Amino acid sequence: MLTGAVCAGLLLAGCAAPRTAAPGPGPSGGASRTASADQAHGAPRLIAPAEIPGLGPATRSRVPANSTQALVVKGDGPHSHQSTAVLYERDPAAGWKAVSQPWPAHNALRGWTAHHRAGDLRSPIGVYALGDAGGRLPDPGTRLPYDRSEEFNMPGTGFLGEPLEGSFDHVVAIDYNRVPGTSPLNKVRPLGAAMGGGVWIHVDHGGPTRACVSLRRDDMRQLLLALDPAKHPVIVMGDAGTLGR
């Protein structure tokens, strides 16, 4: 989340295991048939679907079963405002694979937290749906609902003195403490105002945010064009150490 009134609060390593047939009489009358014997006879090996690299079992368990698209944002450290984002998609048989290059990103000034509060200058750790977009500029062609409004305006300067103008030219709302299916501008906070809100993915301005995640303009546009509601996209966000648990 950036400085300003609007943004005020806010798994590909494959695992292959050789197939072992059920124990039973082998060619010699008693030996069990092994995976090596299977391979010698041309039997295929069973390969487990690929997981998103760097995500531990606790994090993977939070990705909804029906989600086949995930933007993974890994922070450099729990107190760092620099991150890397990669978009993944899941094939039912092959598993997850990267469909973008690594994108440099920024997160909140003070890093990450699993207990986000309004004004703490930390980005919330977790897995959240991505369902609504908007911005000051016209819809670039996203399949997400897109709210174009002049209210997506961010004057002033950031924490490093960088201009914030244009940061909200395009945004994607992160479903943290918001009403899904509404404009990113909707200020209703179901968990209460103290829990923060208005956490978005938006155009990077060259410095840390208040709670949001920011991507370079071209990368933001690629993301908007790639996100598909039919794939139930989510963002998996947090510092690398926490996401690895």
The Cα–Cα gap between 144 and 157 comes to 29
Residues 237/122, Cβ–Cβ less than 8 Å: no
pLDDT at 30 (0 to 100): 37
pLDDT at 115 (0 to 100): 97
- pLDDT per residue as tens digits for the range 170-213: 999 999 999 999 999 999 999 999 999 999 999 999 999 999 99
What does the mean pLDDT of the chain come to? 87
The Cα–Cα gap between 49 and 88 comes to 14
pLDDT at 57 (0 to 100): 98
Residue whose entry in the numeric block shows the structure tokens 């919330």? 124
The Cα–Cα gap between 72 and 20 comes to 35
Single-letter amino acid, residue 53: P
pTM: 0.82
As to burial, measured by CB atoms within 10 angstroms (0-12 exposed, 13-18 middle, 19+ buried), residue 57 is: exposed
Q: How many helices (H) and strands (E) does the chain have?
A: 4, 14
- Of 5, 4, 7, nearest to 178 by C-alpha is 7
